[in-house]
Amino acid sequence: MIFNENKAIYLQIADRICDEILGGQYKEEERIPSVREYAAIVEVNANTVMRSFDYLQAHEIIFNKRGIGYFVIAGAKSRVLQLRKEYFLKNEIDYFFKQIRSLGMDGDELKDMYNEYCNNKR
C-alpha cells in the first residue's frame, strides 16, 4: 500500500478497511483478516494495524470476538457513510465552498457539473 504523508498511516489503513466494507469485500458480521494477516497485506508493522483495528472498534465499525478475531458490525456500511459525511461537513466543506466562490462558479454550474459527474460514473 502506498501511503500519503499528510495523514497517519493507521488512519489510512482504517480508511482502506472502510472502503473494503463499502465495496462488499468484507460483509457485515463477517470475519476480517487478523492483525498479522492485514499487516502482511499492507506491508506495515502489526502494531500499526492493531491501532487501526482499535480505531475502527472505537467507532463501532468492527468488533472483536476474543480468541476468534475481528468481525464487521451489522450496520457498518451505514456507520462508515455517516462518519465520512460528518467528517466532510466538519473539515472539508468550508474549503470546498471557498474554492467554488473563488473560481466564480454559481450553484447552477456546480449542479450541472455534479450531474455530469454522476452520469459518467454509472
**Which residue type occupies 45?**
N
* CATH for 9-76, options being 1.10.10.10, 3.30.70.270, 1.10.287.90, 3.40.1160.10: 1.10.10.10
The maximal CA–CA distance of the chain, rounded, in angstroms, is 57
Distance (Å, rounded) from C-alpha 121 to C-alpha 42? 28
Give the angle 4-7-94 at the CA atoms, nearest 5°.
Answer: 110
Distance (Å, rounded) from C-alpha 122 to C-alpha 117? 9
Asked if residue 122 has pLDDT above 80, the reply is no
What pLDDT, on a 0 to 100 scale, did the predictor assign at position 63? 98
| Domain spans, the chain | 9-76
Do 112 and 105 meet the contact criterion of CB atoms below 8 Å apart?
A: no
Average pLDDT (44-69) is: 97
Average pLDDT (49-59) is: 98
Paired residues of 71 in beta bridges: 31, 63
What pLDDT, on a 0 to 100 scale, did the predictor assign at position 73? 98
Do 51 and 10 meet the contact criterion of CB atoms below 8 Å apart?
A: yes
Q: How confident is residue 59, by pLDDT bands cut at 50, 70 and 90?
A: very high
Q: How confident is residue 33, by pLDDT bands cut at 50, 70 and 90?
A: very high
Q: pLDDT digits over 71-114, tens only?
A: 999 999 999 999 999 999 999 999 999 999 999 999 999 999 99
Q: pLDDT digits over 11-26, tens only?
A: 999 999 999 999 999 9
**Which residue type occupies 69?**
G
Radius of gyration of the chain (CA): 18
Q: How confident is residue 115, by pLDDT bands cut at 50, 70 and 90?
A: very high
